[in-house]
Chain A
Amino acid sequence: MSILQVKELKKTYGKGDTTVTALDGVNLSVNKGEFVAIIGSSGSGKSTLMHLIGGVDRPNSGSVIVDGNEIFKQSESELAIFRRRNIGIIYQFYNLIPTLTAEENIMLPRLLDNRKPDNDKLKSILETIGLSARAKHLPSQLSGGQQQRVSVGRALINDPAIILADEPTGNLDSKSSREIIELLKLANKRYNQTLVIITHDEKIALQADRIVTISDGQIVKDEVMKA
């Protein structure tokens, strides 16, 4: 079953002579529970693809369908609400709210939804990411690896249809990187989470079910690694 469908996605930046085509008609389909790595050199358009799938940016043409919903047909508010329930985003630079504690940051998408905090779920996530003892710490009191684990927790809290990770290990040392990838793989296995990772790192890409290569805004290679 395909949980993500990207059809003829186009995105350009700038106007006139300085127009840059970031995506030039991208088609992609991802099944539920799949672990996909997107690789490509810098400027190839992989981050743009990621932002469009996550609904934080809008394309010039084409569509993105997540779990049966065509996301760009929604208004901005609807999209925001859709995002908090169905998409988990992990950034290279963690992007936590500095004034909220680790557990509050994890709960953020749920709190934005005015839903009651689910303590069991929170507990199990804190255990999974190994931060039960540091739940009340502010981001500034955590190391980079720990902060990134918090942002993984935030991506997991609402059981989203899809988790998007943009160079999640780009800012981390090799030990922390390994931990984060293990964590994401665990989520992928344990909760059958769909996972799309953008990465430079070949070692990480090789752990995925499927590797999609982007160059100059187009998908040039799409290989399935494991059956």
Chain B
Amino acid sequence: MSLTAKLALQQLKNNRRSTIWSLFGIILSVAMLTAVGGYGMGGAAILNDMLTNLYGEGTGANYEHASHVFSALIGGIVVITAIIVISNAFRVSASERTHQFGVMKSVGATKKQIRSTVMYEGIFLSIIGLPLGFVTGLLFQWLAIMITNIIMGGINYTMGFSVSPILIISMMVLSFCMVLLSAWLPAAKAAKIPAISAIRGIGEVKLRKEKPKKSRFIGKIFGFEGQLAAKQLKRSRRNFRATVISISVCIVLVLASVSINSHMFAFLDGRLEQLGDMRYSIFFSTANPDAAALTVEIAENITHKLKEFPGAEVDAHGSMLYSLAPELSVMSREDLVSLVVLEQEMYNRLINEIGAAYGSNILINVAHEIDSEGNMSQYNPYNGMVGQTLSLYPVETIIDEGGNVSPALGKVSEVEITAQITELPDDSFIKTAYAMFTNTKAIIVPELNFDGYSWIIFVDDITGFETYAQSVFDEHLTLRENETLHFMDIAEELIITTAVINFFSTFISIFSIMLALLGLTNVISTITTNIQLRAKEFAVLSSVGMTKGGMRRMLALESLLGSIRALIFGLPLGIFMAWLVYQGIIGVFGQFFNLPFIMPWRASAVCAFGVLAVTFAIMRFAAVSLNKGSIIETIRSGRIN
């Protein structure tokens, strides 16, 4: 074995405490990387399955792309966090030995030799740390999957535990590179310090030169120890930065996942309430609204036939989507307008009820809003539009020779709004239409060439009705080219949607917890690093008469001030992230009803308290190991800082 390898091995053997920390850091990082990777892949596969079953092939593939981006992002966070954790561990080990490297240089060691001792440490630690970390990671993954399956309980999807050889090999390679890179950073730094500075012990801990102002306020409350703590924080901002960043990452993860869960569940509750007891829907669509197989007459015939099924209530309407914007590229959801045609009898009832003339174009000026407690209410989003004439461009479906479907805008037409509905009683006969068009503008018109026609059915015997409905359609309707008919069991769809949302939120929660734990190891490692690097300072302080109580006060205040800084940085960032998540969710579910941003107050408070408690605990824990060494030994340990 070469001398450098031997030196590395001796260092690891003799300096047990820092070896154990480094090893712990490596094992935990590799474990998290493995667990997050495996769990993430398994979860993404199941979500993909669920969505494909629910909405057909296309969405699954779309989602898969998104999930790859998501995985890459998470993977990046994990790798960066892991590098910080491990390289912190090496930083302690290397800076403890700055002086030693200086001595080696003065007796003739080259830069390369210094670097290689640190690198060998990395290699030796990897030999033990990687396999242990990998096994621990599989254990974590298995645990996470068990928990997920227990929480998910009811549904037909269970996450399986699988380990692919490719995953093993790529994780091993990735982790090994990670450890080498982590070792390289402090190694290169240690090798660069000139021999003379290393011998004098000037090296790792760089302090800011300007004199920090004495804080009278802190001095009064916490005494001299408090002032020392404040100075330490101000002077070695760089050392605390890693802690602040890690804590912020944890906070952001927690708040983002809380935001995902609270908004998704709010939407689920709202949607369930909105759909009420609708059970079944049949949807006809055509690419040629002018020459559709389904005419208003045929549709009304079918509706009458469907109503003949015992216990069935049927609501029917045709619709066509229009755009207020003249080009697709500038169109947003606010520009969408649905024109809706009801059955003649329904339309007549409606104009009677609101006192409008036959031929009126009636705006549905009602939408749902749900507050953060989940209470749904109605409001009027489109006041002042009666009397306006809208120029509308139909959103048509273009099918090219290859059968690819794409939207395009057709010829403009003018629609004057002549009446409106401003409130809907719970038993309204147009409730279904309203549930369908809630968060886009919808105008009920007397006549329309529709490209879609929906029947919404309230019925108990779904299976019986399904067979009956099939026969009715077989008898009355022959589909032409580019026309489809879709039968959907709403009740079942809701069960699956609920399951998907449940799964997704469990997945996100567990995932965030795992990532936050990884961030926490980083906090532990940076704080411990800091304390260890200052062992001598503490020894000197206690040799000149600082009591243990005073030391504890100093550390308590340091952790308090450090945490507050992390919170000032992390909480707004976390809330912003929660808001971004909310925007994303609105983008998908906002078509049904409005949901205000649910401010994660409680989660923020828990985060704030947790951060204070955790940093305090870590500081205290790290300081305990210091108190064990004798003062004189620490001072005389040879390091002259």
Contacts and interface: CB of A to CB of B under 8 A. Distances in A.
- Does chain A bind chain B? yes
Given A99-B14, A111-B3, A83 B104 contact: no
Residues of B in contact with A, size category: 20 to 34
Interface string A41-83: 0000000000100101100000000000000000011001111
Contact of A100 (B10, B105, B113, B199): B10
B10 A96 contact: no
Given A84-B107, A95-B103, A109-B107, A77 B112 contact: yes
With most chain A CB atoms within 10 A of its CB, the pick from B15, B105, B106, B199 is B106
B638 A93 contact: yes
Given A93-B638, A99-B11, A83 B106 contact: yes
A113 B108 CA distance: 8
A96 B2 CA distance: 19
A80 B110 contact: yes
A154 interface: yes
A89 to B, nearest CB: 5
Interface string A87-115: 10101010111111000000011011110
B109 interface: yes
A57 B194 contact: yes
Interface centre among A80, A87, A109 (most CB of B within 10 A): A80
A85 interface: yes
Contacts of B113: 112
B510 interface: no
A99 B3 contact: no
A66 to B, nearest CB: 13
A21 B99 CA distance: 26
| SS of B interface (majority) | helix
Interface in B161-198: 194-196
Given A100-B7, A114-B3, A56 B195 contact: yes
Contacts of B234: none
A67 to B, nearest CB: 15
B112 A108 contact: no
Interface string B88-110: 00000000000110111111111
B237 interface: no
A114 B107 contact: no
Question: What is the interface residue range for chain A against chain B?
Answer: 20 to 34
Contact of A56 (B6, B7, B13, B199): B199
B111 interface: yes
Nearest to A108: B107
Contact of B10 (A80, A84, A93, A99): A99
Nearest to B109: A112
A8 B13 CA distance: 47
B118 to A, nearest CB: 13
Contact of B110 (A81, A91, A99, A108): A81
Given A77-B110, A111-B3, A113-B108, A56 B196 contact: yes
A112 B106 contact: no
Contacts of B108: 80-85, 87, 109, 112-113
B103 A96 contact: yes
Nearest to B637: A98
A60 B110 CA distance: 22
Query: Which residue of B6, B14, B109, B640 has the most chain A CB atoms within 10 A of its CB atom?
Result: B109
A67 B10 CA distance: 35
Nearest to B4: A112
A56 B638 contact: no
Contacts of A56: 105-106, 194-196, 199
A193 B108 CA distance: 19
B638 A80 contact: no
Contacts of B107: 83-84, 89, 108-109, 112, 154
Contacts of B6: 111
B199 A97 contact: no
Given A98-B638, A112-B3, A80 B100 contact: no
Nearest to B114: A80
Given A57-B194, A100-B7, A95 B15 contact: no
A159 to B, nearest CB: 14
A113 B102 CA distance: 17
A98 B7 CA distance: 10
Given A56-B199, A57-B194, A97 B103 contact: yes
9 contacts: A57-B196, A83-B106, A95-B99, A95-B638, A98-B14, A99-B13, A100-B10, A112-B109, A114-B2
Given A95-B103, A111-B6, 15 more contacts: A56-B195, A57-B194, A57-B195, A77-B110, A80-B109, A82-B108, A84-B109, A89-B106, A93-B638, A95-B199, A97-B104, A98-B100, A99-B10, A111-B3, A112-B107
